[in-house]
Amino acid sequence: MKKFYKILEDKVKMAINECHYEMDEVSVLESNRPDLGDYQFNGAMALAKVYHKNPLEIANEITSILKKDNFFSDVSVAGPGFINMIISEKALIDFFNIDDYKYEANGKLIFLDYGGANVAKSLHVGHLRSVNIGEALKRLCNYLGYKTISDTHLGDFGRPLGLVILELSKRYPEWQYFDKNYDGMYEDVPITNELLEEVYPYASLKAKEDEEYLKEAQDMTKRLQDQEKGIYDLWLKIMEVSKKSIKKIYDELNATFDLYKGESDASLCVPKLLSYLDNLDIVKESEGAKVIEVSSEDDKLEVPPMLLIKSDGGILYSTTELATIYDRIENYHPDEIWYMADKRQSLHFTQVFRAAKKANIASDTKLVFAGFGTMNGKDGKPFKTRDGGVMKLESLLDEVKRECLKKLNENIKENRDLIANIIAVSVIKYADMIPNRETDYNFDIEKFCDLEGKTGPYILYSTIRMKSLLNKALENGIKYNKLYLIANNFDREILLILNNFDIILERSFDSQSLNDITEYLYRLNNSYNRFYNENHILTENDELKKESWLYLTSIVYKINNILLDILAIQIPEKM
């Protein structure tokens, strides 16, 4: 992978060393004064403190060395010692005539936990950010050369399933699953996703109002977790139906998972975890319960002990979470495990991660909680349906698709629904990743479906236009294999933005946030569209200029494709 900043920073570091100074980390920034330079180096002030010299004097020494390098067309000093650098046309052309945007495999494995679907429940807007951010981060890791394993970690074994099975037993007592003496093959029963989605909220509400019903649900949950024949077999049937529905929505969002494990799998690991912890001196008794102390002297807020086993012997979500980490490290040996979940779960993950470190379960594995903010409606309130209920993801996709169909070119007659689906997913994903991961944001369907501004459709439209231009060039026998010249400031602006490609990817990886990528895509395409509107590319008489412009277009088109694929956004043929 070619890296412009690496070349630039190495040149500055060599100049520093030639002036007999030493600096471990050299950081060059994109200039905030384009009139003075393309890039700036502000390290002269730091060197002045170390060497007790005037920063202006040091900056002038470094500048005198850099000026000898034809990589720069000009190097100057401003203010107390800011070094401004303008890259030469030849250096930019040489750099972009090397087509190398691939990262080498690095052998490291990152395990990603995202999605968080619950069996027998609808995926709703609250699940959206986890699956969007998680899928994009997985693809980013893959692009940067990491191996990945992804798991949606289903909510599949707790009281919600006990409630569902209990209510089914009351509505359909004749089902063979509920006959403890039945020992044959079970007849097929009419379990559908629609039935499950209707049963759960009914049973959940009833359990809140009827104490006896709640006790029955608790008993049914225990029977399930004890894998009682019939009850467990019905659970397997429910899992089969629900997983199919979950996968359908994930497919629409271009999200794929290597594993569909869940709480049921984690529960199987709990005995092994507890046996391991028994040999350590970190589990303490507290009012009949068992806990692990995880507070630190550096904590600004109180971090309570992690509750491992309740006083009645029951296990908790934190117990199965720790067991999941134990299982993942034992079976997959990841270098890092990343969790994408609502930032309000921060304390939970702090407790579990500290317990994992304290127990030496994750001594060599980095644990990362990438918490995210909420998606709200246009009014800033939680996103709801018109009747005030929680909106299903399927309903949101349909609503956005209808808006996209309104804006779709009327001349497009074939595959209108398919194209509208692709654009609708781009609307949802791009909007979801514009803000910093931890920021709450308001989703305005009309605004984010617009063809102008920071929207998925704007980026898609630009990309389709580039492809059309390149195809027309090929149809007319025009070749574009290299960059010969930089014709104007529009060309140059695009090239300078393209120089940031690797920095943006690596920054996104380090922060586990995609907002740098979405912002970069907008900035790049906005610059390209200005360039496109200012130049008559295919009718340009100067052949070298024409080929350079087409080659430049091909680079931007390639970068768009790479970044949109990382965001799990497809590109339609037309729109």
- pLDDT single digits (tens) 184-194: 999 999 999 99
Examine the domain organization and report whether 405 and 509 are in the same domain: yes
- Which residue segment(s) compose the domain that 126 sits in? 109-155+257-376
Across residues 403-426, what is the average pLDDT?
94
Q: Is residue 94 part of a domain?
A: no
The share of the chain scoring above pLDDT 90, in percent, equals 93
280 and 329 belong to one structural domain: yes
**What's the DSSP call for residue 305?**
P
Q: Let me know whether 248 and 272 are in one domain.
A: no
For residue 201, is it within any domain? yes
Residue 545 belongs to domain with CATH number: 1.10.730.10
Q: What is the largest CA-CA distance in the chain?
A: 92
The CATH number assigned to the domain holding 45 equals 3.30.1360.70
22 has a pLDDT exceeding 80: yes
Looking at the structure, do residues 413 and 471 belong to the same domain, yes or no? yes
Give tens-digit pLDDT for 336-370: 999 999 999 999 999 999 999 999 999 999 999 99
Residues 405 and 550 reside in one and the same domain? yes
Flag whether 386 is in a domain. Answer: no
- Residue 408 and residue 350 in one domain: no
How far is Cα 568 from Cα 137, in angstroms, rounded to an integer? 10
Assigned domain for 383 exists: no
Indicate whether 571 belongs to any domain. no
54-97 residue pLDDT tens: 999 999 999 999 999 999 999 999 999 999 999 999 999 999 99
What pLDDT score does 32 carry? 87
| Residue 386's pLDDT band (cuts 50, 70, 90) | low
327 belongs to a structural domain: yes
- Check if the beta carbon of residue 425 is closer than 8 Å to that of residue 570: yes
pLDDT class of 279 with cuts at 50, 70, 90? confident
- Structural domain contains residue 99: no
Q: Does 413 score more than 90 pLDDT?
A: no
What pLDDT is recorded for position 225? 87
Whether 214 and 268 share a structural domain: no
pLDDT above 70: residue 150: yes
User: Which tens digit of pLDDT belongs to each residue from 109-134?
Assistant: 999 999 999 999 889 999 999 999 99
Q: pTM above 0.85?
A: yes
Give the DSSP per-residue string, 525-537. HHHHHHHHHH---
How many CA atoms, within 13 angstroms, populate the side-chain half-sphere of residue 208?
Answer: 6
In the prediction, which pLDDT does 353 show? 98
- Same-domain pairing of 428 and 541: yes
Same domain membership, residue 167 and residue 146:
no
CA 275/CA 441 separation, integer angstroms: 44
- 119 with 261, same domain: the answer is yes
| pLDDT computed for residue 387 by the predictor | 65
pLDDT at 313: 85
| Domain CATH code at residue 332 | 3.40.50.620
Is 461 within the bounds of a domain? yes
Measured CA to CA, the distance from residue 67 to residue 75 in angstroms comes to 6
**Whether the Cβ atoms of residue 337 and residue 325 lie closer than 8 Å to each other:** yes
DSSP state of 522: H
Q: Is the pLDDT of residue 141 over 70?
A: yes
Taking only the tens place, the pLDDT of each residue in 186-227 is 999 999 999 999 999 999 999 999 999 999 999 999 999 889
Cβ within 8 Å of residue 376, ≥6 positions away: 382, 383, 440, 441, 442, 443
Please check whether residues 349 and 406 belong to one and the same domain. Answer: no
Quick one: pLDDT band at residue 388, thresholds 50, 70, 90? low
Domain edge (last residue) among 252, 287, 312: 252
Q: Phi then psi for 564, rounded to 5 degrees?
A: -65, -35
Number of domains in the chain: 4
Long-range (24+ apart) CB contacts under 8 A made by 467-474 are 467/557, 467/571, 469/532, 469/537, 469/538, 469/550, 469/553, 470/550, 470/553, 470/554, 470/557, 472/538, 473/538, 473/550
Residues 298 and 218 in one domain: no
